[in-house]
Structure 1
Amino acid sequence: MLITIDIGNSNIVCVVYSNQKESLYDKRFETIKENIEEAYSKFVKEELLFLKERYDCEAVMLSNVVPSIDKVVFSALKEVLAIDVYRCDLSTVPNFKVMLDDPLELGADFIATSYGAIAKYPLPIIVADLGSATKVSALNLEGDFAGGIIMPGLRIAQDALNRFIPHLPQIPLVVPESVLGSDTITAMQAGLMYSTIDSIEGIAARIESSFNSKCTKILTGGLSVLIHKDTKDFVYEPYLLNEGLFEIYQLLK
C-alpha cells in the first residue's frame, strides 16, 4: 500500500492506494504555514501514522510546491512513519523530457499530473489544474512536457476584487445560470466563473492549434469541482496528481 500526499499552497490531499491502484482512503486538509515543525509533526502523528498502520503502507510518495515547509514535512514523515519517503521531482523521473529553457523549474505538481494523465489517456494531452493558481500544461504526441501557463486562480481573483473594491460583497463561487448578471452578486459570479471557463477552453484551443492536433483535455485540482460540469470537452479527474504519484512510485520499486 502507498500513501500519496499532494501539498499545494492552500490544501493537502492525501490518498492511500492498494498495489492495484484502488483508492482506499482520501481526505483533504488545509496547508499549514505557521509553527510548521510542531504542526506537521502533529499532523503526521495524528493523521498519517494511523493510515500507515491501518493499511500496512510501505512508502510515501510526496509532491510539494511549498518550499518553505519541504524539509520539515519530509523529516516528519521519515521520523514518525519510519518507512520510505520519496519526493516527486525530475531526479525521480529522469526519462521525462521537459521542453523548458530550464527543466529544473518544473514543479512537482506538473510532473505528477503529467504522469497521471499519460497513464490513463491518449496523447497529446492538455491538463487544466485549478488550485491557488490556475495552470494549463501540455504533453505532446511523444509524451514530452511541452510547456504551460500559470494565471491567478479563482479565489485569488475573487480576493483581488474584494481587496481593491472593498464595497463589493463576498460571494459564493458558483456558476450562475446566465452569463449576464442580473445583480451585483450574479454579475461577479458570471465574471469570475465564466472568465475562468473561457480562459481554460480558449487556451486549450490555442494549444491544439499549435500542435495541429486534437488533444485529450483533463480538468483537475481542488477548485475544478466548481466548474467541471460547465466546461466543454474536458474529462474531470479530481485525483489526477495523486494517481500520478502512484505511477511514479511504480517506476521506483
Structure 2
Amino acid sequence: MLLVVDAGNTNIVFAVHDGLSWRGIWRISTDTQRTSDEYAVWLLTLLTHQGLSPAQITQTVIGTVVPAALYNLRRLSRDWFGTEPLIAALRLDWGIEILMDQPSEVGVDRLLNGLAAHRLYGGPLIIIDFGTATTFDVVDDKGGYNGGAIAPGVNLSIEALHQAAARLPRIAIGRPQSVIGRGTVAAMRSGVFWGYIGLVEGLVARIKTEFGAPMKVIATGGLAPLLAEGTDIIERIDPELTLEGLRILAGRNPHPLLTNDKSKAIEGD
C-alpha cells in the first residue's frame, strides 16, 4: 500500500491507498517541531483503528510546501514504515509541461492539483484551492501547467482584519443570510464571504477571457464546499485532489531504495 503525505502550511494530511481506493485519510495541524515519533504514535493509532498495519505500507510519497517539516516526515517513513519516501520535486517525471518563466518558483501543491485535475477531468480547466492561500491554477487541454493567480486565504484575511482593526472581533467564516449586515459581526461575515465570492467570480471570468476558450472549474480545499454555495461557477468539488496528484506522481516515478546512510535524512530536494 502507498502512504501519501501532503504537508501544507496549516495541516498535514496522511492517507493510505491500496491501489484501488483510499483506505483512510487523516489530518493533523502543521507543527515543524513535531518529531517523527510523535507522528508515529498518532498515525499508528489511526491505522490500527482502520484495520491496517505498518507492515502493509510498502511505499511512501511526500509533497510539502513547508521545507522545515520534511526532516521528521522522512524519519517517520524510514523508522516506522521501512520505506524511503519519494519527495515531490521538479526533477521528477510529471508527465506535464510546466509553462512558467521560473518553474522552480511554483509550489508543488499547485502542480499536483494540476496533474490530478487534468487526469481526472480533462482540460482546459481552472483549479481553485481554498487553503492558507487561495490559488487559481490554469491547465490547458494537453495538461500543460500555465500558471495562475494567488490571493490571501479566507482565514488569513479574517485574522488580518482582526489584528489590524482594534475594535473588530475575530469571526468564523459562514454564509450570511443577507448581504447587508445589521451589526459589526454580520457586516464582517458578509464582507468576507461575499467579498471572496466576488474575488472568485471576477478572477475566473478574467482568466477565461484571457485564455480564450471554455474552461472547467474545479475546487478543492477545506472551504470549497462552503464557498461553492455562493456561486454557480464551480462545477465540481474534489477534496482529495492534491492526494490524487501525489498518488499519480508516485505511480510515474521509481521509488528510492531505503539506505542506512543517515546523512540522507537531511538532504533537500
TM-score surpassing 0.5?
yes
Count, aligned residues: 249
Partner residue, 1:40: 36
Q: What pairs with 1:81-230 in structure 2 (closer than 5 Å)? A: 81-230=81-230
**Does structure 2 conserve the Cα–Cα contact (< 8 Å) formed by 1:58 and 1:84?**
no
TM-score calculated relative to the size of structure 2? 0.86
**Deviation of 1:172 (Å):** 1.8
Gap change, CA 1:130 and 1:50, over 3 Å in 2: closer
Gap change, CA 1:84 and 1:110, over 3 Å in 2: same
Per mean C-alpha deviation after superposition, the further-off stretch among 47-56 and 169-178 is: 47-56
Per mean C-alpha deviation after superposition, the further-off stretch among 5-14 and 89-98 is: 89-98
Runs of at least 4 residues of structure 1 off by over 6 A? none
The separation in 2 between residues aligned to 1:50 and 1:25, in whole angstroms, is 9
* Paired amino acid for 1:107: G
The separation in 1 between residues aligned to 2:125 and 2:42, in whole angstroms, is 38
Per mean C-alpha deviation after superposition, the further-off stretch among 93-102 and 104-113 is: 93-102
* Paired amino acid for 2:246: L
Matched position secondary structure for 2:6: strand
Say yes or no: does 1:19 pair with 2:19: yes
**Deviation of 1:136 (Å):** 0.7
TM-score calculated relative to the size of structure 1? 0.91
Gap change, CA 1:247 and 1:176, over 3 Å in 2: same
**Deviation of 1:114 (Å):** 1.1
**Does structure 2 conserve the Cα–Cα contact (< 8 Å) formed by 1:44 and 1:77?**
no
The separation in 1 between residues aligned to 2:239 and 2:181, in whole angstroms, is 29
The separation in 2 between residues aligned to 1:50 and 1:168, in whole angstroms, is 39
**Deviation of 1:141 (Å):** 2.0
* Aligned residues: CA RMSD: 1.9
The separation in 2 between residues aligned to 1:80 and 1:55, in whole angstroms, is 9
The separation in 2 between residues aligned to 1:10 and 1:40, in whole angstroms, is 18
Say yes or no: does 1:240 pair with 2:245: no
**Does structure 1 conserve the Cα–Cα contact (< 8 Å) formed by 2:13 and 2:28?**
yes
**Does structure 2 conserve the Cα–Cα contact (< 8 Å) formed by 1:126 and 1:218?**
yes
**Does structure 2 conserve the Cα–Cα contact (< 8 Å) formed by 1:201 and 1:232?**
no
Gap change, CA 1:231 and 1:7, over 3 Å in 2: farther
The separation in 2 between residues aligned to 1:48 and 1:114, in whole angstroms, is 31
Partner residue, 1:250: 251
Gap change, CA 1:228 and 1:126, over 3 Å in 2: same
**Deviation of 1:48 (Å):** 4.7
1:216-252: CA deviation from partner (whole Å, max 9, x where unpaired) = 1111112323312223231111111001111111212
- Consecutive unaligned residues in structure 2, runs of 5 or more: 255-269
**Deviation of 1:82 (Å):** 0.7
